[in-house]
Structure 1
Amino acid sequence: MRISEDPAPGQRLGRYELLRLIGEGGMAQVWAARMEGSRGFHKVVALKTLIPALARDPQFQRMFLDEANLAAKIHHRNVVEILDLGDTDGVLFLVMEWIDGQTMQRLLRPGLRPMPISPAMAARVVADAAHGLHAAHELHDERAVPLGIVHRDVCPQNILIDRDGTVKVADFGIVKAFERLGDTTQTGEIKGKGEYMSPEQAQGYQVDRRSDIFSLGVVLFEAVTGALPFQVLHDLVLPQTGSSEPPRPTLIAPQCPRDLEEIILKALARDPDQRFQTAGEMASALEDFLMRRSGVITTAHVAELLMARCGDKLEEERQRIADAIVPQQRPGWRPKPGATLSVGPPSEGRSRNARTAPRRGIGGLMRAGSDALRPVALPWLVASVSTGVAVASLMFVALSRPRDQRPIVDPIAVQTQPSAAVVKLNGVVLGVGSQVIARPKPGVSLVVEARSSDGVSQTVEITSESPARIQINLD
């Protein structure tokens, strides 16, 4: 039994009618859907369907249902609510509250270039996310036994902000189920987004709530500076390697207050024992910072920033949803012929594994599995080059591209001396110290600038013919 290869608006899963595909990734599709009840009741929800390859796997089904049932027990204003879990005609799906808003990723990157937000605003958003995570981490069962929930994929794509400025953490459950399926050990690939992973998660060790705290520290670093502290090659995480220490945020964003910098660095401590021990503790530190430095920053301030940066996109998405609902409200309207979720073998002429190119939405619940709707990043590998210089970052590619169309891994290592130099690519900050940059296509040139703390700078042009290692000496 399977979902049809090309579901379309008007198809139904029980009492849910699909309205509009808003996200698709390697594990699931996310739809805006209409929940229908008696006497004309209806409500817009977000409905996530697993891709057929996973939905057909009995072992994954059991694990996904276990994890989703745990996640459904989380009730907090800063967590996306799970409303229903269904299995209709062999199609496994999850129903969540509809978030009329945007992801934090869109807030930080409304266009092609990253746009950091003020330290106070970053502290407000991340503190609220920390409150939601703490509620999940603290969850107990009916016998008061801790459930040990860990998100495992905390990142800007999984932090949603609705129109009134409420911050909500999304997408508990699927990553844990995928890890339990054994994919990590079978393929050597770490699921999730490596640039936000804790060292212990990247190396395949057992994780606890402090791993989520590290990931939240990366999010806070990015929100304040516009750059990531760690960026490295995806799929090549070597368990035997270590990781470099994060750069100080003030090297990239001098306006970052020192006390906020200390909060970020504590969250990013390599040793879990040196981090905040609970997300609630991190939230309290951020709330104290806000009271000392900025006074009261409310959800209204967050909503104002969201509308200033993403208001047009929000209105466009709201109109698309309204347009999708209108036909269903007309008297005598019926789904188009064939608009059902089918049961049986794949359509003739198409292989069972055939997949259409991922589509991209801009509003509502924007996550669709481990890699949906995000600019392609080549995540975290900590590797040592033969010269002994640790290469601990890779440029964040600004162009969106489906995950299954990965570039050829033929990177260029840019090494700086001194190692604390800030490195920019075409004017965009990549990070501090040595960087690994994806090799440009023939005919394309990139400009790399390195600047030391005393103001000495040097630029280098990189092309498809550049050597694999470039040294920039600022001493």
Structure 2
Amino acid sequence: MVPPMQEPELPERLGKYQIIRRLAYGGMAEVLLGRLAGTDGFIKEVVVKRVLPQYASNSEFIAMFRDEARITSRLHHGNIVQVVEFAEEGGQHYLVLEYVDGPSLGATLYELRKRGERLSIPEVAHIAVETARGLDYAHHKLGEDGRPLLIVHRDVSPSNILLSREGVVKLADFGIARARERLSPTQGGAGTLKGKFAYMAPETILRGRLDARSDLFSFGVVLFEMLTGKSAFTGETEAHTIQRVTTEDLPPASSQNRAVPPEFDEIVRRLLDRDPDNRPSRGLEIVDAIANLRLHTSPPPSELLMETITRLFPIHRHEARDRATVRPAKPRVIVVDESRTLRALVRASLGQRYNVIEASTGDEARAAMRGAVPDAVVCQRTLQGMSGLELCHSMRENPRLADVPFILLASDITPELEAEARVVGVQAVLPKRFDPRQLEATLQKILES
């Protein structure tokens, strides 16, 4: 029997970079927050993307990793995450990237959906213009020989658009991009479908065709999602998603959001045309079309976006920079309950000491765990779709989440329930009408142990 895969121990350093914490953990690589310290108090935070040790000898994956570094290192644009360096130390390959202090567009849309909110039209326009500029630059970048590099991102989606706390928009993750000089054709060549089907152009799904206009279709899907707050093509299954992308005509975004001007509907319609020849030929056409909307606001859209990010993702200040280490972020606690009122009570109880992430269902909770592993989960016993005990059981079967402390809230606590909870790995069962001090003390005791 193969033992379950465990997250590797966090290294103290990689090359000249002090490793602060793990930001994300994927199938073949992990993303770390690093820190470069120099003389006279110079400090720079970076992102370190490291190949997991068990894949260090996978030549095909290493070739793809090198290609990502080669492609992205040539892209010097304010709307594209910059490469700092690519290095190898002791058999460990890692890519050092610019650190964007802020959430992804995907995380932002998720938080807004939970609150029944959307981005404002000026904010959407700002994000769209900046993303389109980054895409246009990548699509038309020339190589040293003066020939086009023919870069296609292939994964334009909300998770790969980063929003800084200053309102700056950056396109990230060229890990599966295709380019003329890509070294590993099996990773970037035609016939290999890579990316997310819900954002993939129909000609790519059906015929494997791929060029800059395919990225613009994906961009149109993202634009529709920003305007409506809803996914454009995501279906109940992968096959259903593919069927929707290749056959379904979307309603105008204005039919779901009255604030959308008709001109914006037309931009989305052109981007989502199934015939690539009918789409805009380049990203700058989108920049010009949105500029013609004359969406002038006071404050400017970038400041509106700053305010939205600050509200959705409160800042937790690091300790003074002259300290030898950086204090980790507040422990991340996911609170799962169908009652918005109870979630608000838990947030009010724990918010001073913990970063509280809210979820109303087990599926929402699992989605919140796909990035950084939470420090603890506080969950209602009865949920729509799956119970709190079922959620805990599913976590214990996942090596990444097997050790995450789990507190169950129940209206009627019986010895039978407590025994069942212990079997699936629940650390504590508390009354749903909890005493805030009891919840905080229980959580603190569990985390300290």
Q: TM-score, normalised by structure 1?
A: 0.62
Aligned residue number for residue 126 of structure 1: 128
Find the aligned partners of 2:270 and 2:245 in 1 and give their Cα distance: 22
Alpha-carbon distance change, 399 to 217 in structure 1, aligned in 2, over 3 angstroms: farther
Contact 1:203 1:238 in 2 (8 A): no
Find the aligned partners of 2:190 and 2:237 in 1 and give their Cα distance: 16
Contact 2:46 2:96 in 1 (8 A): yes
Aligned residue number for residue 258 of structure 1: 262
Question: Deviation string for 1:261-287 (max 9, x for gaps)?
Answer: 000111111111111111111121112
Alpha-carbon distance change, 221 to 167 in structure 1, aligned in 2, over 3 angstroms: same
Aligned residue number for residue 304 of structure 2: 304
Which structure has more relative contact order (CA 8 Å, sep 6+)? It is 1
SS in structure 2 at match of 1:212: helix
Alpha-carbon distance change, 256 to 46 in structure 1, aligned in 2, over 3 angstroms: same
Alpha-carbon distance change, 153 to 41 in structure 1, aligned in 2, over 3 angstroms: same
Residue 98 of structure 1 and its aligned partner are, at CA, apart by 1.3
Contact 2:126 2:301 in 1 (8 A): no
Contact 1:83 1:95 in 2 (8 A): yes
Matches within 5 A, 1:11-410: 11-37=12-38, 41-110=42-111, 112-113=114-115, 115-174=117-176, 176=178, 180-181=185-186, 190-203=193-206, 205-233=208-236, 235-236=238-239, 242-289=246-293, 291=294, 294-295=295-296, 300-311=300-311, 313-316=313-316, 318-319=317-318, 322=319, 326-328=323-325, 398-401=364-367
- Give structure 2 stretches of 5+ with no counterpart: 1-5, 328-332, 335-357, 372-383, 389-449
Alpha-carbon distance change, 206 to 297 in structure 1, aligned in 2, over 3 angstroms: farther
Residue identity opposite 2:199 in structure 1: Y
Contact 2:119 2:227 in 1 (8 A): yes
Aligned residue number for residue 346 of structure 2: none
Instruction: State which drifts further: 170-179 or 194-203.
Output: 170-179
Alpha-carbon distance change, 195 to 326 in structure 1, aligned in 2, over 3 angstroms: farther
Find the aligned partners of 1:160 and 1:240 in 2 and give their Cα distance: 27
SS in structure 1 at match of 2:153: coil
Residue 37 of structure 1 and its aligned partner are, at CA, apart by 4.0
Residue 136 of structure 1 and its aligned partner are, at CA, apart by 0.8
Residue 182 of structure 1 and its aligned partner are, at CA, apart by 5.3
Residue 325 of structure 1 and its aligned partner are, at CA, apart by 8.4
Contact 1:102 1:314 in 2 (8 A): no
SS in structure 2 at match of 1:95: strand
Identity %: 32
Question: Deviation string for 1:343-392 (max 9, x for gaps)?
Answer: xxxxxxxxxxxxxxxx99xxxxxxxxxxxxxx99xxxxxxxxxxxxxxxx
Find the aligned partners of 2:63 and 2:29 in 1 and give their Cα distance: 16
Question: Deviation string for 1:67-109 (max 9, x for gaps)?
Answer: 3211111111111111111111111111111112222123323
Residue 55 of structure 1 and its aligned partner are, at CA, apart by 3.3
Residue 166 of structure 1 and its aligned partner are, at CA, apart by 1.2
Question: Deviation string for 1:275-304 (max 9, x for gaps)?
Answer: 111111112111222x2xx22677x53233
Find the aligned partners of 1:157 and 1:264 in 2 and give their Cα distance: 20
Question: RMSD over aligned Cα, in angstroms?
Answer: 4.0
Aligned residue number for residue 376 of structure 2: none
Residue 29 of structure 1 and its aligned partner are, at CA, apart by 1.5
Contact 1:28 1:48 in 2 (8 A): yes
Find the aligned partners of 1:202 and 1:254 in 2 and give their Cα distance: 32
Find the aligned partners of 1:398 and 1:31 in 2 and give their Cα distance: 24
Find the aligned partners of 2:116 and 2:206 in 1 and give their Cα distance: 29
Q: Which has the higher helix share?
A: 2
Q: TM-score, normalised by structure 2?
A: 0.66
Contact 1:15 1:35 in 2 (8 A): yes
SS in structure 2 at match of 1:328: coil
Contact 1:121 1:297 in 2 (8 A): no
Residue identity opposite 1:84 in structure 2: E
Question: Deviation string for 1:185-220 (max 9, x for gaps)?
Answer: 99x9x4422221111233360311111111111111
Aligned residue number for residue 426 of structure 2: none
Residue identity opposite 1:67 in structure 2: E
